[in-house]
Amino acid sequence: VNWPVGLGGKGNEGVAGLIKQTPNSIGYVELIYAIQNKMPYGKVRNSAGTPLKADLASVTAAAAGAVETMPSDFRVSITNAAGKDAYPVSSFTWLLIPSKIQDQAKKKVLKEFLQWMLTDGQNMVEALSYARLPKEVVAMEQKAIPEIE
């Protein structure tokens, strides 16, 4: 988004600091940061025309809105994703993983960790104020794990 005017803060803390210092200002910080710091935040109208306040379910809904167009390498934007319940300012956090790992022990541990993230780890994300991955995304990612050579 190209904003016509404004100030840039470095990271969540920098943006939050500028917001606190500037009357009538708005800014963007990560949802987890806003939740953990008890910051007030408003609604944003999504692509379906629904004004939504960010929460974990609306971020998961945004991720679900990208399932049909998600490529096999998972590089997809979920910003302004389809769906009436999809929060429009959402994003995945990506891991960059080499397709070939020579060290067999490291490869085994990595694959086990990825599998854990997609199964038992999903049961912990909401307590940490992160959104769950939609089950369709989990299934796609689980199919990709064996492709790591």
**Chain segment 89-128, per-residue pLDDT in tens:** 998 888 999 999 999 999 999 999 999 999 999 999 998 8
Q: State whether 1 and 52 are in the same domain.
A: no
Q: What is the pLDDT of residue 98?
A: 92
6 pLDDT more than 90: no
Tell me the pTM: 0.80
Q: What is the CB neighbour count within 10 angstroms for residue 27?
A: 19
Name the residue with higher pLDDT: 142 or 70: 142
Report yes or no: 26 and 19 within 8 Å, Cβ to Cβ: yes
Query: How many angstroms separate the CA atoms of 114 and 90, rounded?
Result: 22
Write out the two tokens for 6. Answer: 């404004």
Q: What is the pLDDT of residue 49?
A: 94
Range of the domain at 7: 1-39
Q: What is the CB neighbour count within 10 angstroms for residue 58?
A: 22
Write out the two tokens for 89. Answer: 């300012």
Report yes or no: 19 and 25 within 8 Å, Cβ to Cβ: yes
Q: State whether 28 and 87 are in the same domain.
A: no
**Chain segment 54-95, per-residue pLDDT in tens:** 999 999 999 998 888 889 888 899 999 889 999 999 988 889
Q: State whether 35 and 48 are in the same domain.
A: no
Q: State whether 143 and 107 are in the same domain.
A: yes
Q: State whether 31 and 63 are in the same domain.
A: no
1 pLDDT more than 70: no
24 pLDDT more than 70: yes
Name the residue with higher pLDDT: 130 or 111: 111
What domain count does the chain have?
A: 2
136 pLDDT more than 90: yes
Name the residue with higher pLDDT: 8 or 73: 73
Q: What is the pLDDT of residue 4?
A: 61
Q: Is 44 helix (H, G, I), strand (E, B) or coil?
A: strand
